[in-house]
Amino acid sequence: MCDPRSSGPAPRHLRIVAAVTPIFGLLFAGFVHVALHAQQKPGLPPPPESSAGPLANTCGAPTSPPAEGTTKQPTFPEGQYPVKLPAVSLLGARNDLPNPYAPGVDWGQLPAGRKWGSTASITTAPDGTIWVAERCGVFGAGGAPCGGENAKVDPILQFDTSGKLLKSIGAGLLASPHKMTIDHEGNLWMADNTAHVVYKLSPDGKLLLTLGKKGVAGSGLDEFDAPTEVAVARNGDIYVADGHSGAGLATGNARIMKFDKTGTFIKSWGRKGMGPGEFDLPHTIALDSRGRVIVGDRQNNRIQVFDPDGKHLATWYQFGRPSGMYVDKRTDTLYVTDSESRDARTNTGLITLPQTAYTYNAGAKRGIRIGSARDGSVKAMIPDPCPYPYPNVSSLAEGVTADAQGNVYGADYLMNVRKFVKR
């Protein structure tokens, strides 16, 4: 779920890293090594050819009972939980939308011996290829999963739409990859929310530009505090969503930073808050065909729309809690993935809602909502197969993209990448 309070670096490739907070660590105690293939039920192991990581089919739920001495809650058999999600969430996100996609299947042919780590990043290049940035086979967020012995692992991978690996780059460059954007020239823009920098790379991995001060978190005009994603306009203007730290709190940056194509600062807007033009964890950012700036204001459970100069134009709650977005500029189709919405209910035997109310979005079903960036209408939804009530961890896709045929690709924090084919 890209929470910087969760796991740190792992010294060995493919090591599972437990989260550092007591609740999060307790939640994952007792995980078994199972994965997802063709959207199987939780608990079924993947076939040997699947690239899914060990946690891909767990739905984020612990597989062992709560430890002695912890506060326990009642649990219910599958399908018998007495509370059901409504047709529309309390903030207006519809849960009853049609799903025009077949069940997701594991996707991506990784190098021999490698499985997917946590990822929030998947995007489509102008040439139609699909790029993924993942955390070097490691589970978790924050820390430096691509450091230490994993510095030799390429975290950025290019595939064709069938999942064939075409290229891998980036070894030794990133500490913790968050989200990647590709501009109209094919250059890659990578946000590293542990190193507090944004890198511009050529498709071959050559470093072209660095924004921010590596290893320095700050609020200056040349600094970031855990940047999350970049959007690049046709004229080269650069928009950076800045502020993964302090979600649900009164700390951390919460702003959009705008630079010209050389990296020279132009302006910024936003601050911590809930009003128009204010943010609490701007987690994802995209531009539509008109150059409007669309920001996934995740902890506020909404999307905000701005003109290129930061004038607030609209606020949309109907897409749920946005972890990732993709705009197909040919049609302005907007894909928004909600991987975190939950309430205070639990069916794990544990109290798992953080005291900050992080992830709280009552009544919203998790999944990928599909609609229009022009008017904010929502037309379809790929639902999360994980059952309600959701545990306190991201499930299904945290990053999302689509190909020219409208097939959808999701990048999962729970160590998987899946493809959803149109029926």
What string of DSSP letters covers 209-232?
EEES-TT-B--STT-BSSEEEEEE
Query: Does residue 82 have a cis bond before it (omega within 30 degrees)?
Result: no
Per-residue model confidence (pLDDT) at position 43: 60
Q: What is the DSSP letter of 139?
A: -
Report residue 225: phi and psi, to 5°: -125, 90
* Two tokens, residue 90: 């309390």
Query: Please, what are the domains in the chain?
Result: 1-77+99-423 (2.120.10.30)
With 0.75 as the threshold, say if the pTM is over it.
yes
What DSSP element (H or E) covers 23? Answer: helix 22-27
What DSSP element (H or E) covers 414? Answer: none
Per-residue model confidence (pLDDT) at position 233: 98
Strand partners, 290: none
Name the one residue in this structure whose structure tokens are 């709280």: 360
Strands across the sheet containing 416-420: 105-106, 416-420, 408-412, 397-402
For the chain, which ranges sit under pLDDT 50?
A: 2-37
Per-residue model confidence (pLDDT) at position 38: 52
Q: Coil, strand, or helix at residue 152?
A: helix
Which residues, 6+ apart, have CB-to-CB distance to 159 below 8 Å?
A: 108, 109, 129, 130, 131, 132, 165, 166
Per-residue model confidence (pLDDT) at position 39: 53
Report residue 158: phi and psi, to 5°: -110, 135
Per-residue model confidence (pLDDT) at position 27: 34
Helices (H) and strands (E) in the chain — how many of each? 1, 24
Q: Coil, strand, or helix at residue 150?
A: helix
